[in-house]
């Protein structure tokens, strides 16, 4: 039988690190590629279809395994909060926040995610956060900040008359919404750590997606009521399928599986892979340029990941 991932095993610990990094890398890639989907479908219809497609793909994960205890009222509340904060509110705050402020401002604010995760882990999970983890958090924040500052701001242009607000239409409110998204992402990591102690990663993934679908249904139905679905191209439908599976299935399962054996504060360092992968997708798929400052930012950010993942001098005896 396959051995479960445990923190005592160096091999399995590195596998958990790979899951965390891959999860955030996928998030960065689909965030970068979701711009045409937002233009084609709108925020609410896109989010609703995402949860719907993801739910169909993992409906069989909803069934409780025979060896898993029934959820307590506390676990049910945490599950709702995980979906409400990490899926529903995060998506709305991030998408509308970015539309109101500049990409540079959004990137700099998002640099605080690793620190926010570390602080919430210390406050709510009582995790001990060592100097090396704080050093990794600092490298991550500096790297993300440099990535954001290295980008040139371009004015937002109208597309078929649909986009009428500039990127700087309300920077104060936009920055506030981005900060709300940061807190939601940090809460997602911390609550997820609590949930992995009670439920399997597959069931967490399915239940989070189900709650997201329920919460988004009223706005999704309203957006779909008079929407011309025939105007959506085949390429957009294919991209929507990838987006739905990546956002609702793969990234959540990978994150929860890795988080099961890694402290939340250390796992939070891997959120640096989100802007790194988004920038790389911009270069490789969207034809954006990559300058020296961005390369320096990548090196600093990845140094933070390396600092968080290198084994310490202390060894943990193997579990009996």
């997602």: which residue's tokens? Answer: 188
Residue 315 is predicted with a pLDDT of 42
Tokens representing 180 are: 């709300």
CB 49 within 8 Å of CB 244 = yes
What is the distance between the alpha carbons of residues 293 and 109, in angstroms, rounded to a whole number?
Answer: 18
What is the distance between the alpha carbons of residues 54 and 146, in angstroms, rounded to a whole number?
Answer: 34
DSSP letter string over 184-244?
HHHHHHHHHHHHTTTS-HHHHHHHHHHHHHHHHHHHHHHHHTT--GGGS-HHHHHHHHHHH
What does pTM read for this prediction? 0.76
What is the distance between the alpha carbons of residues 300 and 141, in angstroms, rounded to a whole number?
Answer: 9
Q: Spell out the per-residue pLDDT of the chain, length 320, in tens.
A: 444 444 456 668 889 889 998 998 888 777 666 778 888 898 899 999 999 999 999 999 999 888 888 899 999 999 999 999 988 898 888 777 776 766 556 666 776 777 788 888 888 888 877 777 778 778 777 776 776 666 554 444 433 333 434 444 677 787 788 888 888 988 998 999 889 888 999 999 999 999 999 999 999 999 999 899 999 999 999 999 999 999 889 999 999 999 888 888 888 878 777 767 766 776 676 666 666 776 777 777 777 777 766 665 554 444 34
Task: Report the candidate in 320, 292, 257, 319 with the shortest Cα–Cα distance to residue 21.
Answer: 257
Residue 219 is predicted with a pLDDT of 93
What is the distance between the alpha carbons of residues 196 and 206, in angstroms, rounded to a whole number?
Answer: 13
CB 147 within 8 Å of CB 298 = yes
Q: Where are the beta strands (DSSP E) in 101-157?
A: none
CB 140 within 8 Å of CB 114 = yes
Rg of the chain on CA atoms, in Å: 20
What is the distance between the alpha carbons of residues 119 and 186, in angstroms, rounded to a whole number?
Answer: 9
Residue 202 is predicted with a pLDDT of 93
Residue 287 is predicted with a pLDDT of 65
DSSP label at 4? P
Tokens representing 25 are: 């890398």
Residue 10 is predicted with a pLDDT of 66
Q: In sequence order, what are the residues at sequence separation of 6 or more whose Cβ sits closer than 8 angstroms to the Cβ of residue 73?
A: none
3-state secondary structure 178-190: HHHHHHHHHHHHH
């Amino acid at each position: 039988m396959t051995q479960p991932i445990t923190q005592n095993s160096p091999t399995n610990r590195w596998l958990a690190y790979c899951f965390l990094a891959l999860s955030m890398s996928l998030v960065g890639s689909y965030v970068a590629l979701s711009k045409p989907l937002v233009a084609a479908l709108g925020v609410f219809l896109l989010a609703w279809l995402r949860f719907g497609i993801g739910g169909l793909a993992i409906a069989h994960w909803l069934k409780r395994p025979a060896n898993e205890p029934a959820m307590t009222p506390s676990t049910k509340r945490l599950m709702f909060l995980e979906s409400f904060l990490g899926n529903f509110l995060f998506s709305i705050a991030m998408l509308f926040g970015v539309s109101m402020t500049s990409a540079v401002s959004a990137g700099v604010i998002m640099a605080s995610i690793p620190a926010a995760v570390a602080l919430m882990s210390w406050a709510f999970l009582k995790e001990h956060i060592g100097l090396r983890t704080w050093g990794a958090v600092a490298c991550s924040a500096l790297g993300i900040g440099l990535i954001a500052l290295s980008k040139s701001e371009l004015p937002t242009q109208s597309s078929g008359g649909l986009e009428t607000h500039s990127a700087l239409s309300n920077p104060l409110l936009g920055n506030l919404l981005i900060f709300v998204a940061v807190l939601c992402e940090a809460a997602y990591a911390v609550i997820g750590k609590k949930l992995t102690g009670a439920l399997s990663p597959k069931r967490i993934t399915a239940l989070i997606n189900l709650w997201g679908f329920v919460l988004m249904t009223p706005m999704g139905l309203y957006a779909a009521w008079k929407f011309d679905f025939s105007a959506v191209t085949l390429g957009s439908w294919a991209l929507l399928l990838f987006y739905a599976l990546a956002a609702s299935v793969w990234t959540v399962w990978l994150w929860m599986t890795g988080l099961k054996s890694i402290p939340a504060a250390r796992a939070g360092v891997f959120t640096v892979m989100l802007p790194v992968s988004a920038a790389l997708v911009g270069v490789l798929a969207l034809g954006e340029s990559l300058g020296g400052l961005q390369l320096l930012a990548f090196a600093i950010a990845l140094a933070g990941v390396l600092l968080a993942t290198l084994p310490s001098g202390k060894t943990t005896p193997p579990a009996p």
